[in-house]
Amino acid sequence: MKFKLDENVGALGKSLLEADGHDVMTVTQQKLNGASDDLIYEICRDEERVLVTLDHDFGHVLRFPPEATRGVVILESPGRLTPAAITARIAEMAALLRVRPIDRELWIVEPGRVRIRERR
């Protein structure tokens, strides 16, 4: 599966996903820092990559329909999101991916659970 880590995620968890055989690029690697949400969404759609982000704007399914992409993953954590918390959310996402691929869905990854908006 192909993923793009948004600039607010950086390279955290990249090696974890790659260890599971996923193709992972970051917004920073592609020199897209500061790009608009619309452009990031379009690039992920065109490259057929799942976007992994902290940006809740991508949860607005009318503006950014996940079914038009490979999928969108929003990482959440109570309180301040530290690098350790981001890595923990990516580890939880990676564990679920081993048994259930994301398929044009929106995943909200929280501590101990993943909410999934399945495609219609």
Of the chain, the percentage scoring pLDDT greater than 70 comes to 99
Give the pLDDT score at 34: 93
pLDDT, tens digit (0-9, with 9 covering 90-100), for 63-98? 999 999 999 999 998 888 899 999 999 999 999 999
Give the pLDDT score at 80: 82
What would the 3-class secondary structure string for 35-72 be?
Answer: CCHHHHHHHHHHHCCEEEECCHHHHCCCCCCHHHCCCE
Looking up tokens 């600039």, which residue turns up?
7
- Number of residues that this document lists for the chain: 120
Query: Using CB atoms within 10 A of its CB, is residue 99 exposed (0-12), middle (13-18) or buried (19+)?
Result: exposed
Distance of CA 88 to the CA centre of its chain: 13
Long-range contacts: 92-99, Cβ < 8 Å, 24+? 93/52, 94/13, 94/16, 94/17, 94/20, 97/1, 97/20, 97/22, 98/20
In 3D space, the residue among 21, 11, 23, 87 whose CA is nearest the CA of residue 50 turns out to be 23
Give the pLDDT score at 120: 67
CATH topology of domain 2-117: Rossmann fold (3.40.50)
Q: Flag whether pLDDT at 119 surpasses 80.
A: no
Query: How many Cα atoms are found within 13 Å in the side-chain-facing hemisphere of 15?
Result: 1
Give the pLDDT score at 78: 84
Give the pLDDT score at 76: 93
pLDDT, tens digit (0-9, with 9 covering 90-100), for 14-64? 999 999 999 999 999 999 999 999 999 999 999 999 999 999 999 999 999
Give the pLDDT score at 25: 96
